[in-house]
Structure 1
Amino acid sequence: MNAPADWSRTRERSNRFALRFIVWVALRGGRAAARALLWPITAYFLLFGGAARRHSRRFLARVLGRPPTLAEQWTHFHRFAATVLDRVYFLRDRCEGFDLQVDGAESLSHTLAGGQGAFLLGAHVGSFEALATVGRQRSGFEVAMVMYPDNAQLINAALEEIAPDFRMRIIALGQRGTTLAIRDWLDQGGLVGLLADRSLPGSGQRGKTLWLPFLGREAPFSDGPFRLAQVLRRPVFFMAGLYNGGAHYRICLEPLADFSVVPAEPAARDEQVWQAVRAYASRLESVCRESPFNWFNFHDFWQEDAAGLPGDGLPGHAGAARPRAGTD
């Protein structure tokens, strides 16, 4: 059985005409009218989603502890489509009518008060745009996203369609000077955001993959982002912008690890990083159980397709953490 293409090679189901039409309806007709489009969009993904529907079913089965109903899968895709629609308003700074609750801003502000930046590690959970909107509204919460060059081009193209005047700060990974660019941004007191629930096969970066219990089955978590924070000796916060339906979002910011003091011994440095990865996986699992329909990583997270496993999504043997060489 041939392994499916990894997430980095998967084309997104979108086109410029559809995007322009949705933006036009959202801005001219208002959010209530635009949300009517979520019904056919959700139906399309349920009928023709293919791999996305399969991965949604697997995830929901694990987080719910049973096979999901069709209504639950509908809710899953509807929540995803709703957060994509709301990007139009967040990126255009049209936030009136939204309820953005922020938990943990005081702790992050206290960290930034020292004049040094911090890492924000999130996942494909909820809405990053909601979190970025809060950052723009609060003095000192300036976020630069770190991503791979191809993804950066796709994001910039989409932003050009949605908000021509908006310019997201993006630092491309895997290029000469990337680490220096991140360090300089942190030295200015900025925040560096990464989504740490995916790794890019074949990227050639140094790092290891820890296989950790996640929703009843081992899943791979790269230690690359944490090693970067350790090299730059910066604190790490967990971030998530959870969508709670309607116009309600809850922004979660929590201290995850502090690499300001790094052990001299290599083994101790490894253990410091791996403890942080375990803390990230544990917090991500808690968020998923709290808000299961906010999981938008519609890819082969447990690497079941790649291994040729049927992967019915039911909880299996978790096992112990297994650090092993990998790419990030």
Structure 2
Amino acid sequence: MSFRPAFLIPNYRHGRMLPQTIAGLRAFNLPILIVDDGSGEQDAAVLAMLAEQANTEVICLPQNGGKGHAVKAGLRALYQQGYSHAFQIDADGQHDQSVVPAFLRAAETHPAQIICGAPQYNDKAPKSRLYGRQITNFWVTVETWSRKISDAMCGFRVYPLQATEAVLSRHRLGDRMDFDIEMLVHLYWLGCDMSFLPIQVDYPEAGISHFKALRDNLLISWAHTRLFFGMLWRTPRLIARLFSRNDAHWSAQKERGSMFGIKLLFTMYKLFGRGFFRLCLYPVMAYYVTFNRAGREASLDFLERVARIDDSKVPKQPGRRQVFKHFMQFGEAVLDKISAWRGELSYQSIRFRTELTMQQVVSKGQGALLIGSHLGNLEVVRALATKTYFDKITGVFFTEHAQKFSEYLKQQNPEVAKRMVEVSDMGVDTAMRLQERIDQGELLVIVGDRTPVHSKGRVEWVDFLGSPAPFPQGPFILASVLQCPVYLFFCWREGEDINVFVEPFAERIGSNRRERAKAVTEAIKRYASRLEHYALKAPYQWFNFFHFWGQAERPSPKPSLLEHHHGQ
């Protein structure tokens, strides 16, 4: 992904200093996002004035939630608008902006690192704040088993947004002065590397501080308590990191660990059969349910929403037992996927539950887009199709989502590579490549329920199971560009059967260019409605183990200024 930074300025009643801070940042010609944390009328005029300036967006949160609350909202907003990095700078003018170019160069050279400020204080700095920092830095050293984090409290940082999104989607971080500390420790735990560059910090004589000694020190103490206990079960990995020279990006480390487990389980399956594999799954999934808090909470969140629907297949008050069942079905789905590509599942197990079958779609001899989801196991049908119409079905995958797993599938069946298009972004070049396949009569399979890691982050918030949820625009924009028939495609296991649902969705999406944006929005709403319909049929086959509805507020629906910058 290209280097696309933007400034992120959290503000709470710094209206006197904020214009000066923003004026200094304009010299760097980058988009600026100001997140006001409920300043109210006090800063209203200043914020309105700044919002009218070029390359500037202001998000006003309805009430004061704390600095961390504002930064989280800003990180989410910039991530969803497709920026690669957020350069967080405090609004109060304490930081020396002359070092901004050095921080930007470091972030561009090392895009996976967090570039942090190592504060250099003048004699105006309150002694109590300096002593507090020393205590925090001591505990951070304990919590990470490392002296890598030389300062955990400075609010002058360049964050890689892919990494911060991973942390925010898995963990609940503090909303006030504890946020900066928790975010840095969690990023270190995630495997991110970080660099510290000197930054001069000035405490103006007339400066305003929102640090509340009793409240914020208690919150910071509680944060260190949580981090300490979080460190305990991570200790073996943290110690191992001390002796490792591996600086791989966090996503590669996470995937490598999961692939070891998959390979081990699949070896058990090959040696001893499916029954033994299921026995092995119990302790493995028990481990994940116990220690994967984010996945556990995401599963329970989804199951609770399903349980509120009449005649639901989930008990009214789902708990650990239902979450464990959910994880177990995911483990079996992984086995099905690998087994299918190895030719060990029978095509006779497929049951088309709709009037339309895949053979009928293929027999039309016309290229089409099939939009699926992470409900069930689309790969099983694609793999089983090798014995019939395989050369007509191609999967479109985003490389970052499962690169190691894709390589493992290719090892099991070299034919996988021939019918797989891996893309890193849904740009013009990608659309042209896919158009060629459509023109040759191929069926392209893509999922419509997860935003790609390196996409522009454009989403549409539509109703799903009773609440607004973000759905990616990319697959539906692609459909409007390709101007081909579109079908919906769902598949999941039920006992010994593989249930397959194929239904016509649209002959074309947005054939009239003037109406294309509206058509894409309507298509996403219809897709979400059909996905909900099928998710209620097989709730334990829902394999989105992250907070699908998000943990933060919806960002401001006014992204036009920042989006406009993309095209300049």
**Alpha-carbon spacing, 1:261–1:110, altered in 2? closer, same or farther (3 Å):** farther
**Aligned residue in 2 for 1:314:** none
Could you tell me whether the CA contact under 8 Å between 2:256 and 2:404 is conserved in 1? no
Distance 2:390 2:440 in 1: 10
**Aligned residue in 1 for 2:397:** 147
Distance 2:317 2:380 in 1: 30
Read off the aligned partner of 1:203 and give its amino acid letter: S
Could you tell me whether the CA contact under 8 Å between 1:152 and 1:172 is conserved in 2? no
The TM-score, its normalising length taken from structure 1, stands at 0.82
**Aligned residue in 2 for 1:230:** 480
**Aligned residue in 1 for 2:440:** 188
Distance 2:414 2:517 in 1: 43
**Aligned residue in 1 for 2:264:** 21
Q: Deviations over 1:264-290 (max 9, x none)?
A: 5x1x22232222211110000011111
Q: Which runs of 5+ in 2 are unaligned?
A: 1-67, 73-163, 170-248, 309-315, 564-568
Could you tell me whether the CA contact under 8 Å between 1:46 and 1:53 is conserved in 2? yes
Q: 1:256 aligns with which of 492, 495, 505?
A: 505
Q: How does 1:83-102 map to 2 (within 5 A)?
A: 83-96=333-346, 99-102=349-352
Q: How does 1:127-206 map to 2 (within 5 A)?
A: 127-139=377-389, 142-151=392-401, 153-160=403-410, 163=412, 165-168=414-417, 169-173=419-423, 174=425, 177-200=429-452, 203-204=455-456
Could you tell me whether the CA contact under 8 Å between 1:141 and 1:191 is conserved in 2? no
**Alpha-carbon spacing, 1:324–1:62, altered in 2? closer, same or farther (3 Å):** farther
Q: Deviations over 1:219-260 (max 9, x none)?
A: 01122211211111111111111122x433211111112217
Could you tell me whether the CA contact under 8 Å between 2:353 and 2:501 is conserved in 1? yes
Shift of 1:307: 4.0
Distance 1:106 1:170 in 2: 24
Shift of 1:181: 1.6
**Alpha-carbon spacing, 1:33–1:96, altered in 2? closer, same or farther (3 Å):** farther
Secondary structure at 2:498 match in 1: strand
Read off the aligned partner of 1:229 and give its amino acid letter: A
Distance 2:558 2:478 in 1: 17
Shift of 1:188: 1.9
Secondary structure at 1:115 match in 2: coil
Secondary structure at 2:483 match in 1: coil
Could you tell me whether the CA contact under 8 Å between 2:490 and 2:500 is conserved in 1? yes
In our comparison, the structure showing a higher alpha carbon Rg is: 2
Could you tell me whether the CA contact under 8 Å between 1:131 and 1:240 is conserved in 2? no
Q: Percent identity?
A: 28
**Aligned residue in 2 for 1:290:** 537
Distance 2:508 2:502 in 1: 17
The TM-score, its normalising length taken from structure 2, stands at 0.49
**Alpha-carbon spacing, 1:19–1:77, altered in 2? closer, same or farther (3 Å):** closer
Could you tell me whether the CA contact under 8 Å between 2:463 and 2:525 is conserved in 1? no
Q: Which runs of 5+ in 1 are unaligned?
A: 309-321
Distance 1:272 1:31 in 2: 46
Secondary structure at 1:36 match in 2: helix
Distance 1:141 1:104 in 2: 23
Shift of 1:152: 5.7
Q: 1:43 aligns with which of 286, 292, 298?
A: 286
CA RMSD after TM alignment: 3.0
Q: 1:213 aligns with which of 456, 463, 479?
A: 463
Distance 1:86 1:202 in 2: 28
Distance 2:250 2:532 in 1: 26
Q: How many corresponding residue pairs? A: 307
Distance 1:167 1:129 in 2: 10
Read off the aligned partner of 2:165 and give its amino acid letter: A
* Greater RCO (CA < 8 Å, at least 6 residues apart): 1
Shift of 1:105: 7.0
Could you tell me whether the CA contact under 8 Å between 1:233 and 1:259 is conserved in 2? yes
Q: Deviations over 1:10-69 (max 9, x none)?
A: 534844543332222212222222222121122112111211001001111101114412
Read off the aligned partner of 1:253 and give its amino acid letter: V
Distance 1:118 1:86 in 2: 26
Read off the aligned partner of 1:184 and give its amino acid letter: E
**Aligned residue in 1 for 2:492:** 242
Could you tell me whether the CA contact under 8 Å between 2:341 and 2:413 is conserved in 1? no
Q: 2:363 aligns with which of 107, 113, 137?
A: 113
Q: 1:58 aligns with which of 301, 319, 334?
A: 301
Secondary structure at 2:165 match in 1: coil
Read off the aligned partner of 2:279 and give its amino acid letter: A
**Aligned residue in 2 for 1:311:** none
